[in-house]
Structure 1
Amino acid sequence: MNKLNGGIPEEIVPEVLEIASRNYANNSQAYSASELIQAGSEAQIPAEFIQQAIQEVRSRKIRQQKQRRVLAIVGASVLAISAIWSIWTYNSFSRHASVVQAKWAQVENQLQRRADLIPNLVRVTQAYTEHEKEIVSLLQQSRQAYLQADTPEQKVAAVEEVNDAINHFQDYAANNSQLQSGQLFTNLQYEIAGTENRIAVERMRYNQAVQQYNQTIQQFPNSVLAQGLGFEIQPFFQAATTEP
């Protein structure tokens, strides 16, 4: 009681008065069973029917409360399950996306390895002839295009230029017996062949990872969540490699 007799903060006074008024209204509008029976007798309704009606109404209210509790529990369960599913699915998307990125990094390593062979091809070409400026220029430009590419799409396009330049070099070397007899050229042929094999393997692994990722985000209902979270279909690496 001492707490009630203490000062009431001004900021809670409106809320206190509102709640008190509501409680008073609810209490003043309540009727006792005897009052209802009396009202029923005035309407010539027997008391037992009034009692029965009171019991039915109370039972219905209890059932409604139970139904609301069940619905609340079901709703909370659905929300919890949806949240768990969303988190699990997001983690799955992220995991597959990370695998795709890792596999692409391996592809890039091998593409970079091949691009780094071009200066050696240029040196071999220049060592045996001073008249193949076109091949030298083509090799140098293709390597520069690859080094300037940033996105996977740009790198795939630049790879085509590297392939074309190396193919021109291979055609030139096939008709130059003096060049073919050199040890440096022979070593480069082994390097080119080995790099092409590594690229083929890493490209296959990358495409497998992309396929798994794309299938995961395209399946319903994953596709709905993927679209909302910004996970997009990734392209396959279809660039053709050169023939060693």
Structure 2
Amino acid sequence: MNKLNGGIPEEIVPEVLEIASRNYANNSQAYSASELIQAGSEAQIPGEFIQQAIQEVRSRQKRRQKQRKILATIGASVLAISVIWSIGTYNSFSRHASQAEAQWAQVENQLQRRADLIPNLVQVTQAYTEHEKEIVSLLQQSRQAYLQADTPEKKAVAIEQVNDAINRFQDYAANNYQLQSSQLFTNLQYEITGTENRIAVERMRYNQAVQRYNQTIQQFPNSVLANGLGFETQPFFQAKNTEL
């Protein structure tokens, strides 16, 4: 009581009056069971029916409260499951994307290895003839195009130019017996063949990784989350092998 008799800070007076007014209004609008029975008798409704009605209404209120609690629990559970699923799915997207990216790096290593053979091809060509400037130019241009390519799609186009240039060199070498007898040329043949085989293996592994990634983000409902997070399908590497 001492606290109530103490001074009330002026800044909380409006809030106190508002709450008191609301509580008074709610209390003044409430009716007792006897008041309801009295009102029912005026309408010629027996008191026992009023009592039954009161119990039924209270029972309905309890059911509604229980249903609201159940719905709130279900909603919270669905939200929690959605968050957990989203996190797990995002991690799956990232993992598959990283695997495809890592595998593409292996493909690039082999493509770079193949492109780096071109200076040796130029050297051996110039060593045995001074008249094949066209082949030398073609080899050099194809390597430059590859070095300037900065996406898998551009790399695929550029490596085709490299393959065409190497094929032209192979055709030239097939008709140059002096070149074929060169130990340097023989070594290059082994290098070209080995590199092409490694490219084929790494390209297959890359395409498999891309396929797993694309399937993951395209499946429903993963596709909905993937679109919202900016995950897009990746292209396959379609470069063709050089015929040796």
TM-score, with normalisation over the residues of structure 2? 0.94
In the alignment, which residue of structure 2 is the partner of 1:192? 192
Displacement of 1:20 after TM fit? 3.4
Displacement of 1:2 after TM fit? 6.1
In the alignment, which residue of structure 2 is the partner of 1:103? 103
Matched, 1:242 2:242: yes
Distance 1:197 1:99 in 2: 21
Matched, 1:124 2:124: yes
In the alignment, which residue of structure 1 is the partner of 2:223? 223
Which residues in structure 2 correspond to 1:4-153 (within 5 Å)? Answer: 5=6, 8=9, 10=11, 15-153=15-153
Displacement of 1:221 after TM fit? 1.0
The percentage of counterpart residues that share the same residue type is: 86
In the alignment, which residue of structure 1 is the partner of 2:180? 180
* Unaligned runs of at least 5 residues, structure 2: none
Displacement of 1:18 after TM fit? 3.8
Amino acid at match of 2:138: L
* Unaligned runs of at least 5 residues, structure 1: none
Amino acid at match of 1:188: L
In the alignment, which residue of structure 2 is the partner of 1:233? 233
Distance 2:210 2:243 in 1: 25
Aligned CA-pair RMSD = 1.6
Cα distance, 1:94–1:29 mapped onto 2, change above 3 Å: same
Displacement of 1:33 after TM fit? 1.0
Distance 1:3 1:110 in 2: 84
Distance 1:2 1:177 in 2: 117
Cα distance, 1:195–1:6 mapped onto 2, change above 3 Å: farther
Distance 1:142 1:239 in 2: 14
Amino acid at match of 2:159: V
1:59-80 CA distances to partner (integer Å, 9 max, x unpaired)? 0100011011111111111111
- What is the count of residue pairs matched by the alignment? 243
1:138-173 CA distances to partner (integer Å, 9 max, x unpaired)? 000111111111111111111111111111111111
TM-score, with normalisation over the residues of structure 1? 0.94
